[in-house]
Structure 1
């Protein structure tokens, strides 16, 4: 009887996917890299097959390339890219490719790079699962998908993905200056359709926004200016030669607003970012995520239409937690004229913000950067950046909670103390020629800021 029950228990474990043959959740491999001179040699000898990377450390000096459909790498090995000028893994035109379980990193002294840990292009049905991408400190992205369809990035850890660099905006008439900043993106998708970004952990433990880090790296210093100030550049920053906008890193960026579509960003945890989620795309679901201690929780702009922001937790943000606004790339439609083809509208709106919780606002590590304790507003709807931007239109805002944590008391000098809100308004709606139109508020609970609940009447 005991033997029978044990057999049933083992059978149940195997059915549930627990056991040696189910280690990669359906992606098994009987091809081991240990039988070949290198991981790349194993891939080249087995096109279209998944190779298991042997346990242990694997130093590489070139990029591992997956270029055939169905190919991939699985395993518990640690791949260390010794050349800072090269990506670690590149996947091109390899539909159905898989990366699973690996640790991808760079050695001390060579961690700053211009390259990705993983870049995938022109690929359908890609799966990046259970990866650990550590210390790929890039001004680009640690993981990037470009022109991919139905790709998945699931249950990955992206840790310490940012670096100090110069953000040069002298080539655009909108800005016209270059400045030192913290920059880098954890996960980036561009020109992609049907992407799932789920269950990832994206965090920065190294370049944390402290006054010491700012002084050490000269962050915010404007090092180059055009002869004429850009049309949306701050006059104050221009005159003093410094900007407070030096946290340019983004945990998860959904880009290419005129081509990226049908994106799910679900159940991710972001910690210590400049921006948690930066959305420039249509038909996006941003749900069940947590953003903890970021300058900005999320924003949707530059032509982001039909975005659902629901069921998220935003904690310890400073400027805003949820923001929607047009950007410089937001443009109306245009008929063909002269040598110019017709242009489809790239506008913002038709979106829903529902059932989100915003807490501890203004209490994070970035609260000192902008010089005021109550400079931010948890929910923000802004006007266009330039005159040709169409306004943000038709947004439903319902069932959200902005909670003033300070009224529950904070510990100051060893004693509980009620402190005022660290925000001006719970909701800020900017005015101007391209001010938002058609905002509908219902069933929200907004604790007032130091100036009240909102700068306008919130109508249903």
Structure 2
């Protein structure tokens, strides 16, 4: 019987790996691009097959397009997109397509772009595995999935993905101004279901948020205003013509809260980001990740429901490590009336934050941006951005640790020195008409900040 089970198991595994959607898992390819005039020519001549890109540099001037089910590229080659007005690779309407093992980059002097290194759209079972995406400095996503199902971004390196740009918020009554900022996203997920984002390294080594960089690029300067200040725009920023909110880059962004669902963000390492993880989606698992030296560790907002944040390490964050809050896109349900259609609720809450460790808070490179009096705190639960936002509701916060590293003494000028906490409170809960409702705290260890553990009583 045991022998029969082993035989059946082996046959099943072979059968599962035989389809085109699983070709990425075998680590092989069907044909080499070296036999053709270009990588694109090899793909066109072999629809539905995986083309190997041999070692060495392969300069391109057009976007490589994969548009047939099961097609893809693998190998150790380095694809260099010489045209900054084009993406490196696009996958469109190609179920089971794959990219594996390649380096995707741009040459010196042409690294700033509006486009992606990889964009996959309208496909199922796409696999982006073991890629190195380097120096694709974009205001978009360096790696992006749009309207994809059951796809994955796994074991990739995304390095130096940010650039200086303009964040234009003049098209909304909420803000009403545009400003200079650091912008760009390492991995972007939009309008997707069943996505796995696992084991990736997303880091920024080039555009580091120092005072010198801020001065050089005039970061935070407001360059355009509407006639009327936006309803949630800071009066101080509006009057002085500058905002401190200029570090907009995000390592991994799960967007489109009303359509993106069932996303797993597991075991990734993020270093030097504006935001480690920006979650705008339902049914998300954020687990076993490390965020090191980011302004913000993670936030879930704009209608993020049933989010599990568990077993993560947040190190050297400055503004907050874990934040949940409604956003301008958070709205209650609405019945149909006249020509106005019904609208489903897009609310925040029903979530769990458990067994996370927050250390070295306020000791990162971005602390100088907001300073000690900005209200930086390891945990933040915020009110709505606009009056119509339903409040964040029913969140369990248990088994977490906020550790005041300064109590163990730090070394300053070669001598040990006890450093006060670099946060006001371990937990901050904002008040007002749309203040959070139903926060449940249990079995946490919160080392107090300079003003205490929390600005409110933490009820179990």
TM-score (norm 1): 0.94
Aligned partner of residue 143 in structure 1, secondary structure? strand
For residue 25 of structure 1, report the CA deviation from its aligned partner: 4.2
1:230 and 2:230 matched = yes
Q: Deviations over 1:157-201 (max 9, x none)?
A: 000000001111111100001100000000000000000000000
Secondary structure of the 2:232 match is coil
Give the drift of 1:412: 1.5
TM-superposed deviation, 1:414: 1.9
Q: Which residue is equivalent to 2:412? A: 412
Deviation at 1:227, TM superposition (A): 1.1
State the superposition RMSD in angstroms: 1.3
List gaps (5 residues or longer) in structure 1: 1-14, 16-22
Question: Secondary structure of the equivalent of 2:426?
Answer: strand
Q: Which runs of 5 or more structure 2 residues have no equivalent in the other structure?
A: 1-13, 15-22
Secondary structure of 1:332's match? coil
Whole-angstrom distance in 2 between the partners of 1:82 and 1:445: 52
**1:231-260 alpha-carbon deviations (Å, 9 max, x no partner):** 000011011110000000000000000000
In structure 2, C-alpha distance between the alignment counterparts of 1:294 and 1:318, rounded to whole Å:
7
**1:75-224 equivalent positions in 2, closer than 5 A:** 75-224=75-224
Where 1:390 maps in the other structure, the secondary structure is coil
User: Are 1:424 and 2:399 an aligned pair?
Assistant: no
CA apart distance, 1:375? 3.3
Deviations 1:401-432 (A, max 9, x none): 00000011111222110011000100000000
Are the aligned partners of 1:181 and 1:219 in contact in 2 as well (CA < 8 Å)?
yes
Distance 1:24 1:248 in 2: 34
In structure 2, C-alpha distance between the alignment counterparts of 1:265 and 1:389, rounded to whole Å: 27
Instruction: State how far apart, in whole Å, the 2-side matches of 1:311 and 1:374 are.
Output: 27
Contact 1:373 1:422 in 2 (8 A): no
User: Counterpart of 2:317?
Assistant: 317
1:64 is aligned to 2:103: no
- Residues 24 and 99, structure 2, Cα contact 8 Å, conserved in 1: no
| 1:64 shift after superposition | 0.2
Cα separation, 2, equivalents of 1:422 and 1:281: 31
Deviations 1:72-97 (A, max 9, x none): 00000000000000000000000000
Q: What is the aligned partner in structure 2 of residue 286 from structure 1?
A: 286
| SS of alignment partner, residue 369 of structure 1 | helix
With structure 2 as the length reference, what TM-score do the two structures score? 0.94
Assess if the C-alpha contact under 8 Å between 1:291 and 1:314 holds in 2. yes
> Would the aligned equivalents of 2:197 and 2:265 in 1 still touch at CA under 8 Å?
yes
Residue 8 (structure 2) aligns with: none
Look up the match of 1:9: none
The alpha-carbon deviation at position 371 of structure 1 amounts to 3.1
Do residues 34 (structure 1) and 12 (structure 2) align?
no
Q: Residue 17 of structure 2 corresponds to which residue in structure 1?
A: none
Describe the SS at the equivalent of 2:366: coil
Residue 373 of structure 1 deviates from its aligned partner by 6.3
